[in-house]
C-alpha cells in the first residue's frame, strides 16, 4: 500500500518570502500522480499543482512549483512571494496510475501554513 508522509505539522512564513513544504511517499509503482491540495479555513479543498511521475520536468503554476525527486520519493512544494491568502492547510496526495478509473487519492496528514504580515 502507498503511504504519504508530511512530517512538518506547521510552518510559518513572512509575507513576500518563499517557503518550502516537504512530502515523502512510499510506493513500489513506477507510474503515478502526485498532487498538492490546499484547504483554506472555509474547508473547500483546491488543487494547487500536480506532477506526473513519468515527467522529469518539475511542475510549475505561477508562484507554486514542486521539486520532484523520484528516486528519493520526495515531492516538495515551493511557494514564492507568499501572500496572506496562502494561509491554509496543505495536503500532499498520491494517486496510482494502476487504479484505472478509481480516483482514490492517498493523502498525507497535512501541514498548516501561516503567513505573517
Partner 1 sequence: ETGVTQSPTHLIKTRGQQVTLRCSSQSGHNTVSWYQQALGQGPQFIFQYYREEENGRGNFPPRFSGLQFPNYSSELNVNALELDDSALYLCASSLGLAGVRTGELFFGEGSRLTVL
C-alpha cell at 14: 513572512
Distance CA(115)–CA(117), nearest Å, equals 6
Residues at the contact surface with partner 1, assessed by CB under 8 A? 4, 33, 35, 42-47, 50, 91, 93, 95, 99, 101-110
User: 56 vs 103, which CB is nearer to partner 1?
Assistant: 103
d(CA 98, CA 13): 37
Is the Cβ of residue 57 or residue 117 nearer to partner 1 in the bound state?
A: 57
Q: Which is nearer to partner 1, 87 or 93 (CB)?
A: 93
Pick the closest to residue 2 from 104, 75, 78, 111 (CA basis).
104
Please state, in angstroms and rounded to a whole number, the distance separating the CA atoms of residues 30 and 36.
19
Shortest spacing between CB 66 and partner 1, in angstroms: 13
Instruction: Report the nearest approach of partner 1 to the CB of residue 112 (Å).
Output: 10
Amino acid at each position: 500500500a502507498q503511504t504519504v508522509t508530511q512530517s512538518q505539522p506547521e510552518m510559518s512564513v513572512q509575507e513576500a518570502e518563499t517557503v518550502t513544504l516537504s512530502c515523502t511517499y512510499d510506493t513500489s509503482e513506477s507510474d503515478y500522480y502526485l498532487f498538492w491540495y490546499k484547504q483554506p479555513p472555509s474547508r473547500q479543498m483546491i488543487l494547487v499543482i500536480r506532477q506526473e511521475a513519468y515527467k522529469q520536468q518539475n511542475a510549475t503554476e505561477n508562484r507554486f512549483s514542486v521539486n520532484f525527486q523520484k528516486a528519493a520519493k520526495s515531492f516538495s512544494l515551493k511557494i514564492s512571494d507568499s501572500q496572506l491568502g496562502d494561509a491554509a492547510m496543505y495536503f500532499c496526495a498520491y494517486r496510482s496510475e494502476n487504479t484505472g478509473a478509481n480516483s482514490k487519492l492517498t493523502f498525507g496528514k497535512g501541514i498548516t501554513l501561516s503567513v505573517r504580515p
